Amino acid sequence: MTTSVAVVGATGKLGSQLCQLIRDSDDFTLAAELRSTSDLNEMLAADIVADVSLPAVSKSVLEFAVTHGKNILVGTSGWSTERIASMESLFAANPQVGVLFVPNFSLGATVAAHVAAQVAEHFESIEIIETHGVTKIDSPSGTAVATAERISASRGGDVPAPHAEQRARGELVAGVPVHSLRMLGVLAKQDVVFGGIGETITVSHLTTSNQSYAAGLMASLRKTVGLSGVLVGLDKVIDL
C-alpha cells in the first residue's frame, strides 16, 4: 500500500528533488505539486503533506494542513524553537496530527550538529560560520539556528560571547554568535569553532551535492506517516 504526498514548493530545488524521489519510490505516490500560484486545497487529495516552500509561506501551509487533519513534514527554513513554540495552540487543538520539522535533511550535517553539541560542554568560546549559495534567501540558515539551539541546550544556557553588541560579531542565536556568508561557488558549509586555552577545535560539514539530502528526505517522509504530535530534527528520525 502506498502513501500519497502533496509537495508544497515543488518547483524549488529541494521540492523538485523530493518530487523525483517520490516518483521513483515504491511506497509513495505524488498526489499534488503545489507552487506559488497553487490553491492550498490541492493538498487535500494527499495522505500527507511535505512543505519545502519559503519561510514567509510555510506558516500558512502548516496551519492549513494541521487544521485539515493532514500529517506534515516541514523542511522549510526559519522554524526556530521559538517559532515552533508559537504554534502550540494549533498543535494542542489537533493532537492527532503529526508534524515533523527537519531543518536539514543531510545525514552528515545532522551528525555534525550532534557532535558539536557534545563538544560544547567542554568549551567556553563557541561560534558558528555558515556558508550557502547566493540564492538562499534566509539567514542565518535553519541548520545554524538548530545547531546553536542544541549547543545552548547541551550547556544549559547561553555561550559567553564577547562584544556581542557589535554588528560585525554576527547574530546571536541562543547565545551563540552566527556568521552567515552567501557566496558563488558554494552549496552549503557549516563550521562550528570552539576555543579553549591554547587550542581550538572545529566541527565542519561540507555539502557538495543535493544528493546528500535524498536519504534524509525519504526517512523523514516515512516517519511522517502515522506520526502523532510534534517532532523536531532529523536526529529524532534516525534515533541519533
Q: Which residues does the annotation mark as catalytic?
A: 132, 136
Which single residue is written with the C-alpha cell 516515512? 222
Spell out the alpha helix ranges (H) of the chain: 13-23, 55-67, 81-85, 88-93, 107-119, 142-155, 214-224, 234-237
The answer to whether residues 28 and 220 touch, using CB atoms and an 8 Å cutoff, is: no
Instruction: Look at residue 118 and give its three-state secondary structure.
Output: helix
Return the percent helix, strand and coil in the chain, to nearest 5.
40, 25, 35
Which triple of cell numbers denotes residue 33?
A: 505539486
Q: Which of 103, 106, 155, 97 is nearest to 126 (CA)?
A: 155
The answer to whether residues 51 and 120 touch, using CB atoms and an 8 Å cutoff, is: no
**CA-CA distance, 180 to 108, in Å (whole number)?**
20
Instruction: Look at residue 179 and give its three-state secondary structure.
Output: strand
Instruction: Calculate the alpha carbon distances from 209 to 17, 197, 214 in Å.
Output: 12, 36, 10
